[in-house]
Amino acid sequence: MVSLALLLTFLTAGTSGASSQTIKEPKYGLTFTLPNRWERIPLTGSDVSGLLDLLTKSDPSMKGTLTTQVKQAAKEGIKIFAVGPITGQFASNMNVIVEPQVTGPSTPGYFDELGVEVKLNLTNAGMKEVKTSKVHWSQGDAVQATYTLHLATLNASVKGIQDYVWHKGRIYVVTFSASTFATDKSVAKIVSNSWHWS
């Protein structure tokens, strides 16, 4: 079965815009900037159909599988998905999942407890070399996890950074994936420094 990560390998540099792009998501009250040559990919509607047509032009038989994977990503709570340039066998990407969460940073022990929970969840999901820490975003502190994921279908390792940002009863899980941590850190810095609530 083709994974959403594999979908990214079919993107070419020509599908990404040359200048930075501001992402506004009024439903969740957030705005941030994507780096140059990054592009938001819709997870629903006719735009995603057009993108899938482009990506599967050379192999139309893949469209059904890829469409299923994109719909599954949306069902799993991914609200924003964006891709950047391909490095190695993998296109750099980021996504944002939004979920309700009553407890936040004002709760004693919040960052320590969330860090332990995140580390256990990522390790149980097959991530390797998982580390967590507290980091500062433009709008406050967040829990950050770093990890490595081996993609057997590509025979490649993906480096991930996942930030957990709390705001008004919601947790925003912002994930950056690339071939190197340097790429993740560069993109995460742009996103976290530009992130603000509207």
pLDDT band at 104 (very low <50, low <70, confident <90, very high): very high
Alpha carbon distances (Å) from 94 to 34, 74, 105, 186 = 9, 14, 24, 12
- Sign of the four-CA dihedral 196, 139, 97, 15: positive
pLDDT score recorded for residue 12 = 38
Q: What pTM was computed for the model?
A: 0.81
Domain ranges of the chain: 4-197
pLDDT score recorded for residue 22 = 93
Task: From 177, 151, 148, select the one nearest 163 (Cα to Cα).
Answer: 177
Phi and psi at 148, nearest 5°, equal -120, 135
Q: Cα(107)–Cα(103) distance, rounded to whole angstroms?
A: 6
Q: Assign residue 179 a region: left if phi > 0, alpha if psi is -120 to 50, beta otherwise?
A: alpha
4-197: CATH class: alpha beta
pLDDT score recorded for residue 37 = 86
Task: From 146, 152, 114, 144, select the one nearest 128 (Cα to Cα).
Answer: 146
List of E strands, 12-155: 21-25, 30-34, 39-40, 78-87, 90-100, 128-137, 140-151
Q: Cα(10)–Cα(3) distance, rounded to whole angstroms?
A: 12
Sequence-distant (6+) residues with CB within 8 A of 131 are 119, 145, 146, 147
Decide if pLDDT at 113 tops 80: yes
Counting every residue, how long is the chain?
198
Q: What is the pLDDT of residues 125-139, one digit of tens each?
A: 899 999 999 999 988
pLDDT band at 181 (very low <50, low <70, confident <90, very high): very high
pLDDT score recorded for residue 42 = 76
Q: Assign residue 126 a region: left if phi > 0, alpha if psi is -120 to 50, beta otherwise?
A: left
